[in-house]
Amino acid sequence: MTKRKLFIPEGYEEDYIRHIRQESKYIQRKSQFAEAEIPPLVPKWKPTLMMYNITDEIQEKNKQRHSLYDKIGFYVFLFISLIIIYKGLCTAKGFSSFIGILLHRAFICLIFVGGPVGAILSIKTGVDKRIEKYNRHLEAWKYWYELYPRKKVISYWKDLSGYKFEKELAQIFIKNGFDTEITKKSGDGGVDIILNPKGEKIYIQCKAYKTRAGVAVVRELLGCMELNNVEYGIVACTGGFTKGAIEAALMAHITLLDSSDIVKLMDKDIPLDYFYRKE
């Protein structure tokens, strides 16, 4: 098999440098919102199974091999377990003793026989390793050449559903080192994301609207901020904002983000005090 050469995606050299730098900021912040790890380099061309010397025939033989090993492992486990349980039951005296020994020996078999057998069966073949490598490189290629460019287009954000929009927006803050929390869908009081980078909370309300958000959205977030004694807030709306919403946000010192603003955020390193009110 020819060794695959890996490259920085053409046209994304600066994005890669930024990505690697941001990766170090949140590598320890593994959470439900973190994206899968992306290798620092990816194939220049979209990976195919043939590039990794994997054909349909090879995959089928690999599946058959695993199936055979699974059957052998099962019968080995069953055979050894029956012997252990049988020898234990031979010493049983009475029904309660019989049940106790049965459960005890079954537990021993599960831990001391099932464990090692399962570990042996989980050993990866050479084909498994090549398939895993192929999937990892394909994921990276799709991220940089298909998904990432779309994220830098306004239409990508406008097409997102409500929760998906919250999750994607949270990713931008996570990658810039913000402590980020997505609130539960129910009982959030109008707050979808909470940033707490320096001990001072920032409330974020997300609206995946096709049309512009009005003043009511800004007032809703302001009410949550006042109720919880939070000074800083952000309203993110994919459809933009009405003139009344913009004026209300200025008076309340709330930052407004539309789809174009979010795209711009992807091209910069956001300092932790970026959204804090400047007196």
Same domain (yes/no): 128, 183: no
> 3-state DSSP call for residue 54?
coil
Domain assignment of residue 255, given as a range: 162-279
Domain contains 251: yes
Give the lowest-confidence range in 26-40, 77-91, 243-257.
Answer: 26-40
Same domain (yes/no): 202, 96: no
CA contacts within 13 A on the Cβ side of 100: 7
Q: How confident is the model at residue 262 (pLDDT cuts 50, 70, 90)?
A: very high
CB atoms within 10 A of CB 31: 11
Same domain (yes/no): 170, 54: no
Q: What is the mean pLDDT of the chain?
A: 83
Same domain (yes/no): 141, 170: no
CA-CA distance, 215 to 237, in Å (whole number)?
Answer: 12
Same domain (yes/no): 49, 166: no
Same domain (yes/no): 208, 119: no
Domain contains 157: no
Q: How confident is the model at residue 36 (pLDDT cuts 50, 70, 90)?
A: very low
pLDDT at 30: 45
Same domain (yes/no): 179, 217: yes
Q: What is the average pLDDT across 88-95?
A: 86
CB 264 within 8 A of CB 236: no
Domain boundary among 151, 177, 208: 151
Return the bridge partners of 255, or none.
234
Same domain (yes/no): 107, 229: no
pLDDT at 101 over 70: yes
CB 168 within 8 A of CB 153: no
CATH of the domain at 216: 3.40.1350.10
* Number of folded domains that form the chain: 2
Each residue's pLDDT tens digit, 191-218:
999 998 667 889 999 999 989 999 999 9
Domain contains 34: yes
Domain contains 174: yes
Q: How many residues does the chain have?
A: 279
Rounding to the nearest 10 degrees, give the CA dihedral for residues 48, 52, 53, 54. -60
CB atoms within 10 A of CB 144: 22
Same domain (yes/no): 122, 186: no
Domain boundary among 151, 180, 205: 151
CB atoms within 10 A of CB 176: 21
Domain boundary among 119, 151, 183: 151
Domain contains 239: yes
CA-CA distance, 258 to 158, in Å (whole number)?
Answer: 9
Q: In this predicted model, which residue has the larger pLDDT, 86 or 36?
A: 86
Domain contains 156: no
Q: What is the average pLDDT across 94-116?
A: 90
Same domain (yes/no): 211, 129: no
Same domain (yes/no): 9, 49: yes
For residue 178, which of 203, 153, 161 has the smallest C-alpha distance? Answer: 203
pLDDT at 206: 94
CB 169 within 8 A of CB 204: yes
Same domain (yes/no): 181, 125: no
Domain contains 219: yes
pLDDT at 247 over 70: yes
